[in-house]
């Protein structure tokens, strides 16, 4: 199989949100702290009929309905999440409810867990299955989602929620480029969830930011070196002489990051620009890069002044290559596992027609605390003899954007606090029946109907 990638997608947009500007007043922080300091406009909130399974069931069930793919045509289903509701039973097994009536239990894959990285691990698994000797010719599906919530305090405005389902297969309009992928993994306590009775993570915010930045440095250096090596070995075996194939920011139409809040995505782009400056990449005039050529990346992680300088110098690159991918993140917040994929979705609809996407390469950086991180690239292409096109992907994403722009309901920060407090108080209480959610549900949404006294969860389709 060749050109393995994303054939179709379905996005979840929670019905409720809170305005970040109102949260600033409510939390008694200075005006602009969340909206300018973090770069966030709105934050998605989940109500009591939404849990991680209802989010995942909704996107998977919609993906099947919208694409017309029969459940029997799916041979692998991988889930990525860090919103755990069970220490043994995977969410994947809950999703098998959608297959049982269609007589298909032969579906490989289970859950992938490591903070925000699980979705990427799930995608890598799906791709590897299709490229392996065990592939039976059927599609793979990846479902990832999270409900990101924090206790009262400075981390709370960096919450959010989201989920998506991706149909993965060969001859795709968005292809994971083969041969080059960079990974950096390490043991760090930056963000973790050791307390099984708490809904909330333990966070060392500043350490998490430093860890993201140093993971970026390592992955980008590795990615650039590997790309160059692949190119060199490639050009030895082929007679075509290609000019320099150095990879740098100018190689990509978009550069997208794990986005806990939009300001960090801007700082991430600025950091990659610093990497390019130090390497004196050809797209940067010599008189600018000269000053930086002896900089040691490792000693600059906490240099705020340099960071501001890089943000200024890379502003235009940021506006071209990163900002178009931030629409969902700005308006929904951190979605954990699907975060970088929502950036990909936003970028895909930032171009009015599919033709404008043909041949364009996108660099992606996925980060999960603890930590696991990878950098890889996708390329958009015109497909031949395949019913899944870029235009169709754009239509699915635009449907979600319509819902985001016009069908959500604002709640006050007071109501948000109440929803979160209730979630804290009821998280282990059984039996449990959520309040009647009718006014928030759209046709096709799957929601939590009840939890019985043996902790078994029941879902229904609206």
Q: Which residues bind ligand ACO (CB under 6 A)?
A: 30-33, 36-38, 116, 154-155, 158, 191, 203, 205, 208-209, 212, 260, 263, 334, 369
- State yes or no: 193 annotated in a binding site: no
- Is residue 397 within 8 Å of residue 345, measured between CB atoms? yes
Q: Which of 370/434 has CB closer to ligand ACO?
A: 370
Nearest to 280 by CA among 270, 269, 288: 288
- Least distance between ligand ACO and beta carbon 47 (Å): 22
3-state SS assignment for residue 75? strand
The two tokens of residue 378 are 């996708």
Q: Which of 23/116 has CB closer to ligand ACO?
A: 116
- State yes or no: 235 annotated in a binding site: no
- Least distance between ligand ACO and beta carbon 269 (Å): 14
Q: How much is the CA Rg of the chain, to the nearest whole Å?
A: 22
- Whose tokens are 């406009």? That residue is 41
3-state SS assignment for residue 1? coil
The two tokens of residue 2 are 């060749």
- State yes or no: 208 annotated in a binding site: yes
Q: Which of 17/459 has CB closer to ligand ACO?
A: 17
3-state SS assignment for residue 25? helix
**How far is residue 259's CA from residue 335's CA, in Å, rounded to a whole number?**
8
Secondary structure in 3-state letters for 432-458: ECCCCCHHHCCCCCEEEEEECCCCCEE
Q: Which of 5/160 has CB closer to ligand ACO?
A: 160
The two tokens of residue 36 are 């300018």
- Least distance between ligand ACO and beta carbon 194 (Å): 15
**How far is residue 276's CA from residue 304's CA, in Å, rounded to a whole number?**
19
- Least distance between ligand ACO and beta carbon 443 (Å): 33
Q: Where are the alpha helices (DSSP H) in 283-426?
A: 286-289, 304-313, 315-321, 327-332, 339-350, 390-406, 413-426
Catalytic positions are 82, 116, 258
- Is residue 22 within 8 Å of residue 413, measured between CB atoms? yes
Q: Which of 208/396 has CB closer to ligand ACO?
A: 208
Q: Which of 258/457 has CB closer to ligand ACO?
A: 258
Q: Nearest to ligand ACO by Cβ — which residue?
A: 37
Residue count of the chain, please give it: 462
- Least distance between ligand ACO and beta carbon 212 (Å): 5
- Least distance between ligand ACO and beta carbon 169 (Å): 29
Q: Where are the beta strands (DSSP E) in 155-292?
A: 160-169, 174-176, 182-185, 191-192, 202-203, 254-257
Nearest to 21 by CA among 12, 32, 13, 11: 32
Residues annotated as binding site for CoA? 154, 208, 263, 267
């Amino acid at each position: 199989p060749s050109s393995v990638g994303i054939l179709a997608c379905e996005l979840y947009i929670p019905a409720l949100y809170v305005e970040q500007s109102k949260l600033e007043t409510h939390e008694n922080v200075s005006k602009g702290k969340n909206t300018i300091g973090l770069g966030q406009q709105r934050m998605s909130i989940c109500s009591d009929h939404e849990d991680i399974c209802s989010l995942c069931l909704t996107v998977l069930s919609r993906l099947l309905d919208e694409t017309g793919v029969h459940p029997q045509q799916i041979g692998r289903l991988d889930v990525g999440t860090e919103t755990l509701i069970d220490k043994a039973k995977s969410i994947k097994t809950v999703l098998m409810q959608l297959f049982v009536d269609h007589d298909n239990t032969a579906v490989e894959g289970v859950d992938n867990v490591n903070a925000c990285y699980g979705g990427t691990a799930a995608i890598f698994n799906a791709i590897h299955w299709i490229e392996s000797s065990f592939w039976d010719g059927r599609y793979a599906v990846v479902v990832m989602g999270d409900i990101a919530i924090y206790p009262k305090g400075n981390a709370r405005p960096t919450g959010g929620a989201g989920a998506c389902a991706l149909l993965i297969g060969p001859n795709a309009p968005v292809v994971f480029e083969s041969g080059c992928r960079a990974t950096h993994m390490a043991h760090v306590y930056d963000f973790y969830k050791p307390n099984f009775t708490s809904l909330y993570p333990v966070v060392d915010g500043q350490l998490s930011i430093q860890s993201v930045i140093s993971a970026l440095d390592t992955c980008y250096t590795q990615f650039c070196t590997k790309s160059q090596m692949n190119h060199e070995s490639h050009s030895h075996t082929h007679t075509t002489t290609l000019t320099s194939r150095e990879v740098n920011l100018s190689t990509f139409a978009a550069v997208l990051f794990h986005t806990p809040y939009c300001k960090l995505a801007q700082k991430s782009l600025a950091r990659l620009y610093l990497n390019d400056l130090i390497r004196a990449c050809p797209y940067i005039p010599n008189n600018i890069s000269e000053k930086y050529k002896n900089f040691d990346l490792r000693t600059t992680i906490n240099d705020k002044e340099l960071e501001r300088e890089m943000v200024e110098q890379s502003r235009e690159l940021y506006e071209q290559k990163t900002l178009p991918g931030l629409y969902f993140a700005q308006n929904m917040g951190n979605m954990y596992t699907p975060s970088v994929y929502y950036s990909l979705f936003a970028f895909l609809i930032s171009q009015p027609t599919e033709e404008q996407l043909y041949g364009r390469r996108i660099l992606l950086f996925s980060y999960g605390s603890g930590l696991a991180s990878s950098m890889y690239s996708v390329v958009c292409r015109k497909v031949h003899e395949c019913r899944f096109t870029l235009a169709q992907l754009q239509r699915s994403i635009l449907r979600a954007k319509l819902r985001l722009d016009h069908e959500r309901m604002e709640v006050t920060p007071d109501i948000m606090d109440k929803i979160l407090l209730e979630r804290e108080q009821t998280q282990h209480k059984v039996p449990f029946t959520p309040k009647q959610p009718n006014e928030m549900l759209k046709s096709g949404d799957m929601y939590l109907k009840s939890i019985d006294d043996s902790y078994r969860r029941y879902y229904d389709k609206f």
